[in-house]
Structure 1
Amino acid sequence: MSKEKFEEALQLASQDVEDAQLRLAEMYREGIGIEKNFAEALFWYEKVASQGDALSQLRVGMIYLMGDLGVEVDDLKAEYWIRKSAEQEESYAMYMLAMLYFDGTLEESGIPQAVYWARKAAEKDNIDALDLLTSLYIKGHGVKQNFSTAVEYCRKAVEAGHVGAQMRLGTMYFHGRGVEASVEQGLYWTEKAAEQGNKYAQANLGGIYYEGLGVAPDAVKAVDLLNKAAEQNLVKAQLYLGSIYEYGAHNLPADVSKAAYWYRKAAEHGNKDALTRLKNMKSGSNLRLSMKPTLYLVE
């Protein structure tokens, strides 16, 4: 049956039936009715893209950007196809073009172009673009810092279900940025994001439970949350855990071996503070360079 479907798709694709060309590309990619052949898959994807299909242009651009289908990463080809798609107002393509400018992959214009394309994507309610603009307005990066505008973008992203935006909204409530400060609302949105696996929210919530901000202090619960974030390679959480285990706190005894483990993990990611603390512990010095952890919410 798969072989017959492949033959049918091949015949229709040869007659320039766009839907059949896409099916054929997928069949070559997945090995359905034919041996996997990434070169043929790319050929048919590019054929559809060259005919002006915005989603196919985005797909081909992402293939070159990520080095998918066995091709070498090619930023120029990635930009070419993603821009083609963005110019047709495909929302995710506009967001990706913003990110290419934002991370420096594209040299020309830089941040102003990143903001331009992010706004274009946000107008199409692209949730990643909404979250990016939230971050830019919080930090004043490429735009004039404006917490009220950040909240506007953030709420739109939250309404669309963006987990990272839920975390950001929580921190804005804690800091009172663009909204009236509210520990209750801060906790609500931070917990909501943490429950969905957001490592930054997990780290923030861990710090909140350690400090007892709006909740009863609970070092055990704090460590559980921080562990979840640290296991996702969030260096701040690894450093925080090391400090908690070095000193012990509330209902959690000190554990030097666990402190060293998490300092080492953070140091492996280039954190100089963790390296200093680790060396100090190994030296047996009475001078305690490390400080007890204090809450700093990740944004």
Structure 2
Amino acid sequence: MSHAFRILLLFLAILTALPAAAQGPDGDRPGAPKVEEALPRRFGQRAPDEAFGAYQRGLYVTARNLAEPRAELGDSAAQVLIAEIYSRGLGVKRDEAEAAKWYSRAAERGVSEAQFQYAMMLLDGRGVKRDNKQAFALMEEAANAGNRLAQFNFAQMVLSGEAEPTPEALTRAVGYFEKAADQKLADAEYAMAEVYANGVGGRTADEAMARSFLERAARQNYDTAQLEYASWLIAGRGGKRDAVAGFAWMKRAAEGGNVAARNRLAKLYVAGIGVEGDPIAGAAWYLRAQRAGLRDPEMDDHLAGLTEAQLKAAEDQADKLR
């Protein structure tokens, strides 16, 4: 097995091992969000008009009451709306069993959002008995119908179904990551950046393409992509070197809460890369990372070399950083 293949398998193992939208210890977000914004198209071909209007205005009990008669008659859009209300506990007590019932009914009628949500419930055993086989089938169906979250999650399922994914499984998974990336899912764009950076899954290594995917994900506020894109800009990897832009992206990731980015930003300040050197600002950002549990011997040495007045200034500045 090639080194690049092992690297990507490790990356994808992180994706599959953590729940969607999970936050890693250094501020990374290796999974995908489980829920899209509330838009009419998510509820099927025909949104439950008045009920959906009430839902949008936050009148959730009214929305449920308006949707229930139509849901009982087989209106799949109304069924999904009711499922959402119970799944999130909007205006009612959260009831995952009730949500699963309505998602299941809508899934049977081919609504991809319901198929995706019910598949997630089957995987987790939430409100319904765990059933990985049915979840796999429903997720694939939703993915093939064009649901971008289903595409991303199905790619993960393809890989997690084997102790060590075969090249064939990886190629299949990458195809679904690409479909989700084409629909601008940031998590999938980041995954495709890793694919092209390592040249696996049937794709030839292409650092320019990888950098393009990193930028796309970064512009959607995906903090891990912002950190990596910043690093690539500073190193001139996959394109022209631009330390100033790299610094700006690293700062954006750091301000967004990415702990690793805070530490790297600190080093950029200390070294004066992409910004005028500022040992106090560097120390301040490292203190923020340190408070979150990150330790870096190099930056510890930097702190140790500051005067008492400088350290106090850095601590005061760190307290003001967001």
Please give the TM-score of this superposition, normalised by the length of structure 2. 0.65
Shift of the 123–235 alpha-carbon distance from structure 1 to 2, 3 Å rule, reads: same
Structure 1 residue 82: deviation in Å?
1.4
Give the equivalent residue in structure 2 for 1:94: 115
**Aligned Cα root-mean-square deviation (Å):** 3.5
1:189 pairs with one of 213, 225, 233: 213
2:232 pairs with one of 205, 208, 228: 208
Structure 1 residue 263: deviation in Å?
4.4
Amino acid at match of 2:227: A
Give the equivalent residue in structure 1 for 2:51: 25
Partner Cα separation in structure 1 for residue 140 and residue 79 of structure 2: 21
Partner Cα separation in structure 2 for residue 266 and residue 114 of structure 1: 39
1:142 pairs with one of 136, 142, 161: 161
Partner Cα separation in structure 2 for residue 215 and residue 279 of structure 1: 29
Structure 1 residue 91: deviation in Å?
0.4
Partner Cα separation in structure 1 for residue 222 and residue 237 of structure 2: 20
Shift of the 208–105 alpha-carbon distance from structure 1 to 2, 3 Å rule, reads: farther
Amino acid at match of 1:189: F
Q: What is the number of equivalent residue pairs in this alignment?
A: 255
Preserved CA contact (<8 Å) 1:263 1:277: no
Give the equivalent residue in structure 1 for 2:192: 169
SS of the residue 1:180 aligns to: coil
Shift of the 205–41 alpha-carbon distance from structure 1 to 2, 3 Å rule, reads: same
Partner Cα separation in structure 2 for residue 211 and residue 251 of structure 1: 11
Give the equivalent residue in structure 2 for 1:122: 143
The percent identity for this pair of structures is: 25
Structure with bigger RCO (C-alpha 8 Å, 6+ apart): 2
Partner Cα separation in structure 1 for residue 71 and residue 119 of structure 2: 21
Question: What is the 5 A alignment of 1:101-120?
Answer: 101-102=122-123, 105=126, 108-109=129-130, 112-120=133-141
Partner Cα separation in structure 1 for residue 240 and residue 52 of structure 2: 54
Instruction: State the Cα deviation string for residues 22-60 of structure 1 (Å, max 9, x = none).
Output: 4443565567xxxx8543332112222222111211111
Q: Does 1:284 align with 2:308?
A: no
Partner Cα separation in structure 1 for residue 299 and residue 49 of structure 2: 58
Amino acid at match of 1:118: M
Return 5+ residue gaps in structure 2 as ranges. Answer: 1-46, 307-322
SS of the residue 2:161 aligns to: coil
Higher Cα radius of gyration:
1
Please give the TM-score of this superposition, normalised by the length of structure 1. 0.69
Amino acid at match of 1:211: A
